[in-house]
Each structure stands twice: as C-alpha cells, then as structure tokens.
Structure 1
Amino acid sequence: MKKVRPDLYIGTLQDALAFLSGAKWGVTHILSVAPLCFADGMYVSQFCSSALSAQQKQALGRVACELSAKCPCADPDLKPIQKIIPLEDSRDQNLLDYLEDCITFIEEGVQKGIVLVHCIGGFSRSAAVVTAYLMWKEKLSVEDALGTLKQASETASPNDGFMRQLQAFQLSTTGQTETGRKEAIKCGKKIKQRTVVKPKQPVEPATTMYRCKLCSRMVSFQETVSTSFFQVNCNLCSQLATSLKP
C-alpha cells in the first residue's frame, strides 16, 4: 500500500481486505477496480494478517493516524465505503467508460476521508485509474502522471490497452477538447467492437441415420417403424410387408 497524494493510496487486494475485514482502520473509501464478488462476512475469511509484510503493516498503521488527524471524530467501527468497478486486466477492456465514475468517487473520498484504489496486485488496473485521476486533478500528461505515480509505487504499469485509452483521455482533458472528445469516442468504439461477444448460433442436433435391413435404403429415425440391434425396417418396407400379408 503506497501513498500517492495526501489522503490517496494505491494498493493490492490484500491491503483492501485488511480494512474491509475490520482488521485495520483508517481508510474510509475503497475503489475496487477488479471483478470482485464477496458475500457478507467473506472479507474476514479472505483476509490473512500473517501474509502482510512488516512494511505493509507499518503502512496500514500510519493510515489510522492520518485519518485521526484529519477527522478527529471519525468512528473506528465505521466500515469503509466501497465501490466496485469490474475491470479485467486486458488490453481490450474498455476503461474510458468508467473513468468518470472512478474520478468522482476518488475526489469525493479525498474530500471526506482517505481513499484506497486497488485491483489485485496493484500494478495495472489501479495504476491506470490513479493515473487518470492525477491527469484530471493536476492537469498532467499521461507520461507525467504515470511518472509521478511511479515515484510512489515503482511497480505501477498499466497495460498497453489502458495506455492507449489514457492517451485519448489526455486529449479530452487538455485544450484540444473537441479533438479529444472525438478521439476518446473513437478509441472507446474500437474497444467496444473488440469486446463484443457474438451470440452463438444454435446448432441443430445431428440426425441419426439407419439402414433398412430389407431394402438397404438410408433412413432417419423418424422414418423407421421398428428398430432393434438386429433389425431396422423403414416405412416403405413395413407398408409393403403389410399389404402382402394374406
């Protein structure tokens, strides 16, 4: 868990679970940018404090002091407010559509308390979102925003697809607003086109074919009158046999 700006941290799933489980206190808002699905009470079972390094425990402990200094009346028993954005760490993942919600949540959280942005490992998805927030908040380029983030968390490395979308986001947050909007929309459409899953065409069941033992004609099951391991009679042969009966 690394401090990016006053009241803003980037971290891992393990860091988030420390606060969501109630084992640690101090973070008031948690932005989870990964497809997580925890039932009530599962945070406690998922969190393992022994897995934290001494450095992590020290960082988590400092957050409580920071919140106490910022909000002396903060309730230690109050659970963090969590927002889940189900992003996949894929170059085809549409990031642009979620940035407004992410930035709004981070900004409101920073004003009211302390925010933790996390994914699973804290490398790509959370780094992309925090980079976008810094670009918006401090009017930075992609390179400058990511560079200043790396000063806090040197492992931050958004994937190539996220970087392309951050470039489009940069144009929309600079003076080239009209061009930026067009580029962002264009980039968003390309991402959406790549992520559209075409519905599978229904596959008709294969028709089982039989050979009539009398005429050797190939017939489907619907055309058979009697079937057994030894005998298959088609309609035509069965009708002929009936007509020839004395």
Structure 2
Amino acid sequence: MITSDLSAVTDSTSSCETVDLTSIPSTSTKARVLSSLSRFRDRLGTEMDEILPNLYLGSLRDAVDAVQLKKNRIQCIVSVHDLTAHHPAHEHLKVLRIQLSDCSSVDISAHFSTTNQFIHNARLKQAAVLVHCLAGVSRSATVVAAYLITVCDLSFSNALKFISKKRPVVNPNFGFRMQLCAFAERFSMIERHRLREHFGRKAFDAQFAEDRAAVFLEVGHSSCAVL
C-alpha cells in the first residue's frame, strides 16, 4: 500500500511544536496570521503563482484575497495547514482541506492520492485550482510537486526545479523532500496509472501531453522522462 510504505520514510525521531488554536479566539488568530503573512509576502514580492494552466500555488493570504481569486478565476482550493477556521471568501468555492503541520515527521504523502485526484478532476473540467498552505513555501509546494511528479512523469528534482522557476520561494522541509523522492522513485507510476484508469485514458493522455509541453518549454527536454 502506497501510504503505509511511504510512512516509513518520515523521521519518527523529529518533533513538531504545535499551538492549541482552540484556546485562541479565531478572529484574533486569523488577524495575526494574515498580518504576518502580509508582511512576509511584501518582503518576497509574491502573490499566487501559476504553475500549470489552471493550477496555482500560493499562501493563505492569497487564498483569502478576493481580488486574486477573481482575477485567476479560482474555483477550487486545496488548503494544507493546521488551522481550522473557514473563510467567507470560500463559501462558493470547492475546498479540500488537509490539516497538517509543516513538520518533517508528518506523513504528507498519505494525502497525495487525494490531492492528486482533486486537482486533476478540476483541471480536466477547466476549473482553476489554488493549492496553498500558510506561506506557499513547504506544504503546498510538496502537494504540487507530488502532482507534477504524477501527471507529468517527472523526477522529484525536476518537479521542484520546474516549480521553483514559477515560484522561487518554494522550499519543502527535509522530511517532505524525502517523501517526495520515495514517491517519485517507487510509487508515482502506480499513481499515474490509477489516475489514468479513473479519468479515462483519452482525457488523461490529452492533458498529459499539454502539461509535458508546458514543462518542456520551461525546463527543457532533459527534464521530461519517457512514459
């Protein structure tokens, strides 16, 4: 089983400090988080970035920015963080929530099949998807990398290289990188075949060709393995 095998890759000796958000008023928590992310974004000069057609990567601040959501025609959102509050900006959007911390010991790979299917389902329907965490640097970048590894048949290093060209601030933590390496080397082909069967060979292969062409234009033919 993919998730059980990949869980062995996580570093069980590492720990992650967490905050009990239930003890803090949600409005106060949200205000502090958004203020911090706003300052972070100002320093980096970044908003959500388009990785592939109808696939965007960004921060929590981007995910609640009505102007950006409208401008990029976002219809679906993958939220990958450890906050629980819902936001009014998402009331009319389809949202997949993955609650986890940005910690090396967390088994983010257990969610790859779910996020891959959600993202691909939206893109095949020409619906734009935003994948975000708090800063758009580690957790969301890992989810997008797993998706690219699967649907574009890329190695981990080439997937991260491609994403970094689109969003230079991406930097998955060490544990997530190890899980992505294991996924790319041992399980991505199984996952790709699963998605092809689920969505149909014709639809999957047509999107595969478009996405590979986009990757080729950005990072060159050497980054595209042969399926």
CA distance in 2, matches of 1:23, 1:123: 18
**Of 29, 48, 52, which aligns to 2:76?**
29
- Match of residue 51 from structure 1: none
Report matched runs for 1:160-239 at 5 Å. Answer: 160-173=174-187
Change (3 A) 1:103 1:24: closer
1:37-69 per-residue CA deviation (whole Å, 9 max, x = no partner) reads 125xx536xx9xxxxxxxxxxxxxxxxxxxxxx
Matched, 1:85 2:92: no
Preserved CA contact (<8 Å) 1:139 1:173: no
Give the secondary structure class of the aligned counterpart of 1:154.
coil
Aligned runs of 1:61-76 on 2, under 5 Å? Answer: none
Give, as a single letter, the amino acid of the residue that structure 2 aligns with 1:3: E
Contact 2:62 2:68 in 1 (8 A): no
Match of 2:162 among 148, 167, 172: 148
Q: Which has the higher contact order (CA 8 A, sep 6+)?
A: 2
Larger radius of gyration: 1
Aligned twin of 2:62: 15
Higher helix proportion (structure 1 or 2): 2
Helix, strand or coil at the partner of 1:15: helix
Q: CA deviation at 1:36?
A: 2.5
Give the count of matched residue pairs.
140
- Identity among equivalent positions (%) equals 32
- For structure 2, the residue ranges without an aligned partner over 5 or more in a row are 1-47, 191-227
1:43 aligns with 2:43: no
- Show the 5 A alignment for 1:122-133: 122-133=136-147
Deviations 1:198-218 (A, max 9, x none): xxxxxxxxxxxxxxxxxxxxx
Contact 2:63/2:69 (CA < 8 Å) preserved in 1?
Answer: no
Structure 1 residue 95 displacement after superposition:
1.1
| SS of match in other structure, 1:122 | coil
Question: Aligned-residue CA RMSD in angstroms?
Answer: 2.1
Question: Could you tell me which residue of structure 1 aligns to residue 218 of structure 2?
Answer: none
Q: Secondary structure at the match of 2:99?
A: coil
- In the alignment, the residues of structure 1 paired with residue 116 and residue 176 of structure 2 have an alpha-carbon distance, to the nearest angstrom, of 16
TM-score, normalised relative to structure 1:
0.53
- Taking structure 2 as the reference length, the TM-score comes to 0.58
